[in-house]
Chain A
Amino acid sequence: AIQMTQSPSSLSASVGDRVTITCRASQGIRNDLGWYQHKPGKAPKLLIYAASSLESGVPSRFSGSGSGTDFTLTISSLQPEDFATYYCLQDDNYPLTFGGGTKVEIK
Chain B
Amino acid sequence: EVQLVESGGGLVQPGGSLRLSCAASGFTFSDHFMDWVRQAPGKGLEWVGRARNKPKRYTTEYAASVKGRFTISRDDSKNSLYLQMNSLKTEDTAVYYCARITSYYDGSDAFDIWGQGTMVTVSS
Residues of chain A whose beta carbon lies under 8 Å from any beta carbon of chain B? 1, 31-32, 34, 36, 38, 42-46, 49-50, 53, 55, 85, 87, 89, 91, 94-101
A-B pairs with CB below 8 Å: how many?
66
Residues A43 and B114 in contact, CB atoms below 8 Å apart? yes
Given contacts A87-B45, A98-B46, A100-B44, contact A44 B97 (CB under 8 A): yes
Q: Interface majority SS on B: helix, strand, loop or mixed?
A: strand
* B95-120 Cβ-contact flags toward A at 8 Å (1 or 0): 00101000010101111101111000
Residues B111 and A36 in contact, CB atoms below 8 Å apart? yes
Instruction: Tell me the count of chain B residues lying within 8 A, CB to CB, of chain A.
Output: 24
Q: Interface majority SS on A: helix, strand, loop or mixed?
A: loop
Residues A101 and B45 in contact, CB atoms below 8 Å apart? yes
Closest Cβ of chain A to B53, distance in Å, is: 16
Nearest CB in chain A to that of B63: its residue = A95
Closest Cβ of chain A to B55, distance in Å, is: 18
The CA-CA distance from A93 to B105 in the complex, in Å, is 20
